[in-house]
Structure 1
Amino acid sequence: MKLLSVAIPCYNSESYMEHCISTLLTGGEEVEIIIVDDGSVKDRTAEIADEYARRYPTICRAIHQENGGHGEAVNTGLKNATGIFFKVVDSDDWVNEEAFQNVLETLRRFVYGEETLDMLVTNFVYEKQGAKRKKVMKYHTAFPKEKVFGWNDVKFFMTGQYILMHSVIYRTGLLRQCGLELPKHTFYVDNIFVYQPLPHVKHIYYLDVNFYRYFIGRQDQSVNESVMIGRIDQQLLVTKLMLGYYDVMKISSRKLRHYMIQYLEIMMTVSSVLAIKSGTEENLEKKKELWQYLKKMNLPLYLRLRLGFLGQGCNLPGKGGRELLILGYKITQKFYGFN
């Protein structure tokens, strides 16, 4: 059994996947690298995956499947994982090799020690093309350092500070126990990957190292704003699924409840902003329908989100109200460096 399984979803990734894989190979024999070729057709992705599996048979595995999207590639990785812990690294991203050794050392300590670990959180770096300053997402304001803790020990999450797929490593068994299965042919499912397991997590550890390098800059990237607007239906689907997993208003841990509500608030806001920025009546109607969906499904949560600062901003009346929301979004975007 391996210490850590890393799934790399690959779709026409020949120009960057080797850099990703090479950084992960520095983990050595304790790591299992599952390269999932998600029906690539335009390039040598499948051949490169097979080549690594041949060169490193005890570390790399190549799995080929019909195209099912990012979520299905993650599902395949999880189904095939033999590691005690599980991480997803996208094929255009990579990891810092020195920090990787710290991560493995930490995971090893839990496997051979007395304490249990459900979720390891590390920092990640926005590797934004053309940016002079690299923004690092740290969690020192939110989490205690160098100790196992639970939700009640969480401190303060700042605005824009969320646990993302880049920052999290889950215990493989926990992901299977909570029934995690991401929808096929859908983008933005990384939000589900992080969100759905949270109520099952009891033991957390924060390792303050800049481990994951999150590349932003390709024109066809799923987080490119124009691409997101074109895929707004998938953003709406993911948001609706997340709204339906739990009645978050009834989660017993106050701090976990607060965090999950905040997460849903940002999903509602992003969906609303994309609909407004698209400028089409059809998408404005979809935004309205999303808020009505929430109202019908969970009135207390609707009131909590609708009457909050962001909820009011998302629903300001008229063209002037929409322009004000976009201005606020642009300021936040510049400050936090996303998209």
Structure 2
Amino acid sequence: MPAADRPILSIAIPCYNSADYMDHCVESLLTGATDVEIIIVDDGSTKDNTAAKADAWGRRHPDTIKVIHQENKGHGGAVNAGLAAATGHYFRVVDSDDWLGRDALGLLLSKLRGFVASGDPVDLVVTNYVYEHVATGSRRVIRYLGPLPTNKKVAWEKTRLFALGQNILMHAATYRTQVLRDSGVVLPEHTFYVDNIYVYVPLPNVRTLYYLPVDLYHYFIGRDDQSVNESVMLGRLDQQMRVTRAMVEAHKLPEGIPDRKLARYMENYLALIVAASSIFAIIRGDEEALEMRRSMWEHIDSVDPDLRARLGRHFVVLGSNLAGPLGRRLSIAGYRIAQRLFHFN
């Protein structure tokens, strides 16, 4: 497809038994009109009428909405399908129970149009996201003031230190589509928490970033069956460990990273993932979980002993790996304090 005929932004919506809430998501994206290509991926839904709803949306908006039906492959498989089908200059994912702010989407599209017209488009656009917590009725905005200058195209060398809680998650990231494809990122199927792989693996291919300080992504959190609910995460610890393994193997730090500040950012991000995997194993506390934790560290050591040593000295990793029964209780207590402060699950 000629560049001039391509949509500015492709948005993939992975849907699995999403009939109760997918309409709100789709409606929020349609405000982008002809600049947006919406790709609804019905990931083998069988328990409700997700597939029929997706087809109905496609019939109503044939020039804007593509519908893909596939056998169930999990969130990662749905994102892979969306990326493969995308024709837009830029690409992002919106989960079916989340939504985008109307005005913020309009501002993002205006910026993206300018980047495309310039002939030298930005590789990664970062926007704010909002935790909309159903249980508490609270909302918390994650901003990138500090590490990234606002409304300015920059290289990694011009970034500053990212604070805890400021990792560029999938909710914040709008990638140039070709950057994702050039990175070779393919997400594991039938695995939760792959959004960390999605946003992490392509980073060495990102040469330029742009922070647009608008509250774009609204992340609905707090349902009992949600993947980030703690009890659900404990039951899926093996999948969390699989994601951790994939991130460890993605790049050898820091030698395989083209910029010192990018290497630092990626190592700090990896430290948080390792710490989360460790603390969930400790909270579960059974022998299978603790063996997964031991295997995680053995794997990191086998990939890069120096990386293992550096991660072991990182303060969030130290805090989640205190020795002995008392140390484990203190690690869990620290996690509970962070949980109350940040409302991340």
The answer on whether the counterparts of 1:122 and 1:206 sit within 8 Å (CA) in structure 2 is yes
* Alpha-carbon distance in 2 for matches of 1:130, 1:326: 22
Which structure 1 residue ranges, 5 or more long, are not aligned? none
Matched to 1:254, the amino acid is: R
Distance 1:132 1:18, change over 3 A: closer
Question: Does 2:282 match 1:264?
Answer: no
Aligned partner (choices 78, 85, 95) of residue 80 of structure 1: 85
The answer on whether the counterparts of 2:55 and 2:67 sit within 8 Å (CA) in structure 1 is yes
Structure 1 stretches of at least 4 aligned residues deviating more than 6 Å after TM superposition? none
Question: Does 2:228 match 1:223?
Answer: yes
Residues 247-274 of structure 1: CA deviation (Å, up to 9, x unaligned) = 0121241110110001110110000011
Aligned partner (choices 283, 289, 309) of residue 315 of structure 2: 309
Question: Does 2:186 match 1:178?
Answer: no
RMSD: 1.0
Matched to 2:331, the amino acid is: L
Residues 168-194 of structure 1: CA deviation (Å, up to 9, x unaligned) = 000111111111110110100000010
**Residue matched to 1:284:** 290
Secondary structure (helix, strand or coil) at the match of 1:101 reads helix
The answer on whether the counterparts of 1:249 and 1:300 sit within 8 Å (CA) in structure 2 is no
**Residue matched to 1:59:** 64
Question: Does 2:301 match 1:300?
Answer: no
Q: How many correspondences in the alignment?
A: 339
* Alpha-carbon distance in 2 for matches of 1:108, 1:150: 20
The answer on whether the counterparts of 2:320 and 2:331 sit within 8 Å (CA) in structure 1 is yes
**Residue matched to 2:3:** none
**Residue matched to 2:148:** 143
Residues 199-244 of structure 1: CA deviation (Å, up to 9, x unaligned) = 0000111000000000001111110010001000000011001100
Question: Does 2:130 match 1:130?
Answer: no
Tell me the TM-score normalized by structure 2: 0.96
* Alpha-carbon distance in 2 for matches of 1:169, 1:282: 38
Distance 1:133 1:220, change over 3 A: closer
The answer on whether the counterparts of 1:145 and 1:208 sit within 8 Å (CA) in structure 2 is yes
* Alpha-carbon distance in 2 for matches of 1:192, 1:308: 21
* Alpha-carbon distance in 1 for matches of 2:137, 2:40: 32
The answer on whether the counterparts of 2:191 and 2:239 sit within 8 Å (CA) in structure 1 is yes
* 1:147 CA displacement: 1.1
Matched to 1:116, the amino acid is: P
Identical counterparts, % of pairs: 50
Question: Does 2:26 match 1:35?
Answer: no
Question: Does 2:329 match 1:323?
Answer: yes
Deviates more, 1:320-329 or 1:286-295: 286-295
Which structure 2 residue ranges, 5 or more long, are not aligned? 1-5
Deviates more, 1:269-278 or 1:151-160: 151-160
**Residue matched to 1:16:** 21
